[in-house]
Structure 1
Amino acid sequence: MRSPVNSPGILHYSTELEGGKHWSLTMRANTALRLTDLEGGASVGMLFYNPQDMLERYNAPDTLKCQHTFKLTRGNCLYSDMGRIFCSVTHDDVGWHDTVSGTSTKAIVERQWGARDYQNDRNGWKQNGRDAFLVEAAKYGLGKRDLAMNVNWFARVAVDDEGVLAYVPSNSKAGDSVELRFEMDTLILLHTCPHPLDPSAEYPVKPIGLEIKEVHAAAHDDECRLSRPENGRGFENNRLYHIGCGCGGAR
């Protein structure tokens, strides 16, 4: 059921996460998560699941096609594969967030920055996004088969005429932030490992700030609800879900 709104605007928690690290938590409906790029050039990989039914997870193709976009920014909603909305982007200083490039792997990191492991290099080792996701996923009984396409907050990719993706450096500046309002209870897995297409000469270690606060539920004239006709139907699917009417409807 939808969590009650207690004191909208009240900050409940804040912390910083170093580069090359990972974390997970369950965000309740009517709370918001603000991510802040502390030094510039950050990239935050994120996955989304329904904690009540882990088979329901983020669907990148539906998110993009139903909103007629290649990027995520303010006004966009992030859809599950059941036609419901996990969260909405209510604030964005960056203007472009990638959700098509996937995440870095051990092979990508070793090819770009050389091999280092925790056993030999301790805190100087080089974590990759896929393994970071798997470490967090295992805490909830999830594994390799449960990984889906992820979002890369703060990162931008360009596409040439041949369809080749290229990383755009300096897309995010120090102090830039993006805020997600959660429309349903959502388990998120996140990491601060490098973007898979990052061409940096050195393994980038970019910290981020995280803040969690209470917010109001989306109003009938909410920007995210009205930004696309499909989003209105997505919010209706959420409403039916929260009153116990089962699965989402068609968009």
Structure 2
Amino acid sequence: MYEHTLSPGAKWSEKIAAGKQVTLRAEGDGANVSALLYAAAHPFAERYNMPDTLKAQHTSHLTAEHQLMSDNGRTMAVLTHDSVGWHDPIGGYSTREAVNTHYGTTSYQDHLNDWLRCGEENLQVELFRHGLTARDLVPNINFFSKVQVQEDGKMQFVPGHSRTGDEVTFVTEMDVILILSNTPHPFDPAETYPSQPVTLTVADAPASEKPEPLGENKRARENTAAYHELQRKNKEVLA
């Protein structure tokens, strides 16, 4: 098992193989982790797709038994356990301008490691490490945060949605690049920069952890299985 704690403002990314169980645990109230997923084999051509994920599952939030789908119609990961009940897929990530306006202007030159990071910059840095660029930024997931849409169409952030010890777990269906940024939700009204560490663990996934898919979820899972079978046959031919 691999374990790593993201301190407030920290970023992290790595390739994670299919069949792994990834758990995020909030070490403080009101945590937020912005996340992106890309297909490890071809990140330029396939990545997490928010519109398809929500449309196919008729939802505006993510929780246990929901699938994270790619823009190629495949299942990248399946949420298996969730103590929070609602994770935001529509609020986006924090920007430098927003962080400066909300929490005050800081810089590394003036504040060293105490300067206040934003989600956009963190995600871009991790993209660069995998050969991607800012053009590859897509709508992210905000784990541990809740944004609900009112009848008039306005989006409302729910403060204090998650609590210390809350966890969300997903199982990877394909090899992915996972990118994380422990930075404030862009809608968070807190007057001070949030400071909740989040612990990441990666382990082998039990075979029984994934729920049985239905409808569009089943088709996406079948597409992923067909992709793996094609890759296996290609390797046999090349060998």
* Interval of TM-score (by shorter of Structure 1 and Structure 2): over 0.9
What is the alpha-carbon distance in structure 2 between the residues aligned to residue 165 and residue 207 of structure 1? 26
After TM superposition, which residue ranges in structure 1, 4 or more long, deviate above 2 angstroms?
216-219
CA distance in 2, matches of 1:233, 1:245: 18
Q: Does residue 229 of structure 2 align to residue 243 of structure 1?
A: yes
**Within 2, Cα distance between the matches of 1:207 and 1:108?**
21
TM-score normalised by structure 2 residue count: 0.93
For the 8 Å contact 1:183–1:217, the answer to whether it is kept is no
Contact between 1:64 and 1:70, CA under 8 Å: does it hold in 2?
yes
1:161: how far off? 2.2
Question: In structure 2, which of residues 109, 112, 117 is the aligned counterpart of residue 127 of structure 1?
Answer: 117
Task: Give the AA of the match of 2:12.
Answer: W
Partner of 2:217: 231
- Are 1:143 and 2:133 an aligned pair? yes
The one-letter amino acid paired with 1:129 is G
2:195 paired residue number:
205
- Give the aligned residue type for 1:243: E
Partner of 1:41: 30
Distance 2:10 2:38 in 1: 20
Partner of 1:241: helix, strand, or coil? Answer: helix
Equivalents in 1 of 2:221, 2:160: separation in Å? Answer: 34
Superposition RMSD on alpha carbons, in Å? 1.4
Cα distance in 1, alignment partners of residues 174 and 71 from structure 2: 14
Q: CA deviation at 1:141?
A: 1.3
Map of 1:6 onto structure 2: none
Partner of 1:66, secondary structure, is helix
The AA in structure 2 aligned to 1:229 is G
Residue-pair matches, total: 231
- Residue 92 of structure 1: CA displacement? 0.2
TM-superposed deviation, 1:14 = 1.2
Paired residues for 1:97-176 under 5 Å: 97-176=87-166
> Which is further off, 152-161 or 172-181?
152-161
Task: Name the CA distance, whole Å, in 2 between partners of 1:165 and 1:117.
Answer: 30
Q: Secondary structure of the equivalent of 2:46?
A: strand
Q: 2:81 aligns with which of 73, 78, 91?
A: 91
Give me the whole-angstrom Cα distance separating, in 2, the residues matched to 1:82 and 1:217.
25
Q: Matched residues in 2 for 1:218 and 1:105: separation?
A: 40
Q: What is the aligned counterpart of 2:13 among 3, 24, 34?
A: 24
Q: Gaps (5+ residues) in structure 2?
A: 233-239
Match of residue 237 from structure 2: none
Distance 1:140 1:211 in 2: 21
Q: TM-score under structure 1 normalisation?
A: 0.89
Identical aligned pairs, as a percentage?
39
Residue type of the alignment partner of 1:236 = E
Between the aligned partners of 1:83 and 1:216, the Cα distance in structure 2 is 24
- Alpha-carbon distance in structure 2 between the residues aligned to 1:15 and 1:133: 18
**CA 1:217/1:241 → structure 2, altered by over 3 Å: closer, same or farther?**
farther
Distance 1:218 1:186, change over 3 A: farther
Aligned equivalents of 2:153 and 2:113: distance in 1?
Answer: 37
1:99-136, Cα deviation, whole Å (9 max, x unpaired): 00110000110111111011110121010000000110
> Deviation digits for residues 55-80 of structure 1, max 9, x if unmatched?
20110000001001110000100000
In structure 2, what is the equivalent of residue 9 of structure 1? none
Higher helix share: 2
CA distance in 2, matches of 1:218, 1:174: 27
